[in-house]
C-alpha cells in the first residue's frame, strides 16, 4: 500500500491517549480548581498542560481530514463527516440529557437540538461543555468542502493552510499592536482564529511527510504556523492559569507544549504495528470521540453524586474514568455503527433526490456526487 493511501493506525492510539489525558485534566485539575469536583487540584507530572491534548487533536484533524478529502468527491466527503459526527452526537447528547435530568443539571433544549443537527453547533453551545471544539472542527470541514467544490484540493492544501495561518497571525498582530478584536470574537471563549494554526500544522505535516512536497513555500508555511501555534499555546496556558489561579507560564513553556505535541504526533505517525495491534488501536481510536463527548459534564455530575452519597473521603474519580471508557466503548462498538448505517442511507437518498431534482430543473445529467 502506498504512503499516500495507507492507514495511520498508530494515530488511533494517540487519539485515545489524548482523550484520556483530557478527561484526567478535567477530573484532577480543572474541575477541582473551579469547584466542579470537590477535591484539591493535582499539580504533578505537568497535569496542567494536559488540556493541550485538544490542540493536538486539531493537528491530527488537519492531517486526517486532508488525507480523507483527497481523491473524494465533495459530497462523499460531506456525507462521511456527517456520518462520523451525527450518530455519536445523537447518543452522547441524549446520555448527557438523561443523566442531567436524573442528577439535576441538564442541557438546554436549544443545546440538545443543536447537538443533534450538528451544524447549529457553529452558532450555539452543545449539550456538554466539551462540545466547544466541534464548532472549530465543523468550520474546518466547511473550509475543506468549499475548496473541494471549486478546486483540486490536493493542489490547494498549502494555500488553505497559509490562509488560515494568516488569519491567526493577523489576529495576533492586531491584538498586540492595536488592542483590537478584529474578528469581533471577544465575547466568544474559544474564537475560531486562535486555533486555525493547529489545523494548518496538521495539513502541512501531511504535505511534508506523506506527499513529500518539501519546498520553500511548504517549509516556510509550517514554520509560520508553528510560531503562531506556539504563541497560542503560551496565550491559552496563561488564560487557564488566570482562570484557575495558577502561576503564569513562560513563552518557552508555550513553545515546548507545541513541540512536544508535534513530536508525539510524528512518532505515532511513523509507528508500525502488527495486524492484531492495528485492530486494537482502531478500537481505541473509535472510543476517543465518544469518550471526549461524554466525560465532562456527565462525569462531574456522577462524581459529585457519588461523593454526596459516600462522602468526600472516597475518591470516585478512577472508577468514573473507567466507567466512562467502558461506556464510550459500548457507544463506539455498538451504537455508532448501527446508527451510522441509517445516517448514510438517509444522506445518500437526500443527495440523490436533490441531484435528480437539480438535473430535471436545469437540464443537467450530472449529479453533485460526480464532482472530483
Distance CA 172, CA 265 (A): 25
Domain membership of residue 368 (yes or no) is: no
Distance CA 367, CA 370 (A): 6
Distance CA 118, CA 124 (A): 10
What are the residues whose beta carbons fall under 8 Å from the beta carbon of 187, sequence distance 6 or more? none
- Distance from CA of residue 235 to its chain's centroid? 19
Domain membership of residue 109 (yes or no) is: yes
Residue 271 confidence (pLDDT): 85
Residue 363 confidence (pLDDT): 61
Q: Interior CA angle at 19 toward 130 and 274, to 5°? A: 150
Residue 153 confidence (pLDDT): 95
Closest among 65, 109, 67, 66 to 84, alpha carbons compared = 65
Distance CA 110, CA 44 (A): 39
| 3-class secondary structure, 248 | coil
Mean pLDDT, contiguous 10-residue spans, the chain (372 residues) = 61 97 98 93 89 98 96 94 97 95 87 95 92 96 97 96 96 79 49 94 97 96 98 94 93 96 96 86 96 96 92 90 98 97 95 83 54 38
Domain membership of residue 162 (yes or no) is: yes
Closest among 128, 137, 120, 118 to 59, alpha carbons compared = 137
Domain membership of residue 107 (yes or no) is: yes
Distance CA 292, CA 130 (A): 7
- Cell matching residue 169: 497571525
Distance CA 44, CA 252 (A): 19
Domain membership of residue 155 (yes or no) is: yes
Other C-beta atoms closer than 10 Å to the C-beta of 275 total: 7
Residue 54 φ/ψ region, left for φ over 0, alpha for ψ in the -120 to 50 degree band, beta for the rest: alpha
Alpha helices in 104-215 (DSSP H): 109-117, 132-150, 153-177, 196-209
Q: Which domain holds residue 86?
A: 9-359
Q: What domain count does the chain have?
A: 1
Task: Evaluate the CA torsion angle 40, 41, 43, 45 in order and state its sign.
Answer: positive
- DSSP letter for 247, please: P
Is residue 266 within 8 Å of residue 296, measured between CB atoms?
no
CA atoms within 13 A on the CB side of 256: 9
Domain membership of residue 364 (yes or no) is: no
Residue 43 confidence (pLDDT): 85
Residue 6 confidence (pLDDT): 56
Domain membership of residue 369 (yes or no) is: no
- Cell matching residue 20: 484520556
- Cell matching residue 355: 441531484
Domain membership of residue 300 (yes or no) is: yes
Alpha helices in the chain (DSSP H): 9-25, 31-34, 53-69, 74-103, 109-117, 132-150, 153-177, 196-209, 216-244, 251-270, 275-294, 296-310, 317-330, 336-362
Q: Give pTM, 2 decimals.
A: 0.92
Distance CA 54, CA 73 (A): 28
What are the residues whose beta carbons fall under 8 Å from the beta carbon of 106, sequence distance 6 or more? 96, 97, 100
Residue 357 confidence (pLDDT): 79
- DSSP letter for 52, please: G
Amino acid at each position: 500500500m502506498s504512503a499516500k493511501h495507507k492507514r495511520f493506525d498508530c494515530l488511533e492510539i494517540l487519539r485515545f491517549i489524548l482523550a484520556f489525558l483530557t478527561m484526567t485534566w478535567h477530573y484532577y485539575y480543572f474541575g477541582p480548581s473551579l469547584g466542579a469536583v470537590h477535591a484539591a487540584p493535582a499539580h504533578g507530572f505537568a497535569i496542567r498542560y494536559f488540556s493541550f491534548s485538544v490542540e493536538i487533536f486539531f493537528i491530527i484533524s488537519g492531517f486526517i481530514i486532508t488525507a480523507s478529502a483527497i481523491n473524494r468527491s465533495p459530497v462523499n466527503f460531506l456525507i462521511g463527516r456527517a456520518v462520523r459526527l451525527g450518530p455519536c452526537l445523537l447518543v452522547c447528547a441524549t446520555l448527557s440529557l438523561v443523566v442531567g435530568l436524573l442528577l439535576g443539571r441538564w442541557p438546554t433544549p436549544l443545546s440538545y437540538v443543536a447537538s443533534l443537527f450538528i451544524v447549529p453547533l457553529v452558532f450555539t453551545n452543545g449539550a456538554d461543555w466539551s462540545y466547544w471544539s466541534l464548532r472549530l472542527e465543523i468550520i474546518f470541514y466547511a473550509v475543506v468542502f468549499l475548496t473541494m467544490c471549486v478546486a483540486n484540493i490536493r493542489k490547494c492544501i498549502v494555500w488553505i493552510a497559509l490562509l488560515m495561518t494568516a488569519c491567526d497571525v493577523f489576529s495576533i498582530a492586531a491584538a498586540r499592536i492595536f488592542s483590537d478584536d478584529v474578528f469581533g470574537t471577544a465575547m466568544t471563549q474559544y474564537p475560531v482564529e486562535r486555533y486555525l494554526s493547529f489545523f494548518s500544522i496538521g495539513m502541512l505535516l501531511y504535505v511534508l511527510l506523506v506527499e513529500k512536497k518539501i519546498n520553500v513555500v511548504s517549509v516556510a508555511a509550517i514554520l509560520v504556523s508553528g510560531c503562531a501555534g506556539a504563541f497560542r499555546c503560551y496565550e491559552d496556558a496563561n488564560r487557564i492559569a488566570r482562570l484557575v489561579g495558577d502561576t503564569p507560564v513562560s513563552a518557552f513553556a508555550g513553545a515546548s507544549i507545541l513541540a512536544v505535541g508535534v513530536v508525539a504526533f510524528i512518532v505515532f505517525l511513523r509507528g508500525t504495528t502488527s495486524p492484531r495491534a492495528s485492530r486494537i488501536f482502531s478500537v481505541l481510536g473509535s472510543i476517543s470521540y465518544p469518550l471526549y463527548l461524554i466525560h465532562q459534564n456527565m462525569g462531574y455530575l456522577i462524581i459529585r453524586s457519588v461523593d454526596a452519597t459516600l462522602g468526600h473521603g472516597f475518591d470516585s474519580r478512577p472508577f468514573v474514568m473507567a466507567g466512562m471508557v467502558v461506556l464510550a466503548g459500548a457507544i463506539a462498538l455498538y451504537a455508532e455503527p448501527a446508527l451510522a448505517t441509517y445516517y448514510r442511507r438517509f444522506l445518500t437518498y437526500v443527495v440523490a433526490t436533490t441531484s435528480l431534482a437539480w438535473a430535471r430543473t436545469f437540464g443537467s445529467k450530472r449529479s453533485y456526487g460526480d464532482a472530483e
